[in-house]
């Protein structure tokens, strides 16, 4: 049986993915209306970064390596491993004896 913290993290990822899709649509609609969408784009980038780090943490908690999760990472686009570690500590499975 999966740990409740891992299930919580997965549900947060699903919710965040839905909000990202909605925000992408908001950016497109704002741009189509002829307005600048920089505020929407900044929020979108923030959510995408948060999702990426949660995805990496979740995958590493399941035992995957960084090379399996992201085999190719562009230079200067590496994830913050401090953020990943913080998330892993927050959601690591509880050990019961």
Structure-token match 């002829």, residue found: 34
Query: Per-residue confidence at 75, pLDDT binned at 50, 70, 90?
Result: very high
Query: Which of the residue ranges 39-43, 56-60, 62-66, 90-94 would you say has the lowest mean pLDDT?
Result: 90-94
| Tokens (6 digits) for 35 | 């307005």
| Tokens (6 digits) for 68 | 């399996």
Residue ranges of domains in the chain: 4-90
Would you say the pTM of this structure is higher than 0.95?
Answer: no
Can you list the alpha helix ranges (DSSP code H) found in the chain?
A: 4-32, 38-61, 66-69, 81-91
pLDDT at residue 2, rounded to an integer: 62
pLDDT at residue 74, rounded to an integer: 93
């Amino acid at each position: 049986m999966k740990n409740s913290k891992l299930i919580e993290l997965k549900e947060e990822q699903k919710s965040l993915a839905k909000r990202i899709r909605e925000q992408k649509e908001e950016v497109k609609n704002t741009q189509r209306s002829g307005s600048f969408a920089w505020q929407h784009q900044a929020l979108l980038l923030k959510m995408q970064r948060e999702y990426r780090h949660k995805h990496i943490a979740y995958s590493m908690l399941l035992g995957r390596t960084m090379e399996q999760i992201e085999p190719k990472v562009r230079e200067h686009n590496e994830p913050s491993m401090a953020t990943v570690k913080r998330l892993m500590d927050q959601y690591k499975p509880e050990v019961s004896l």
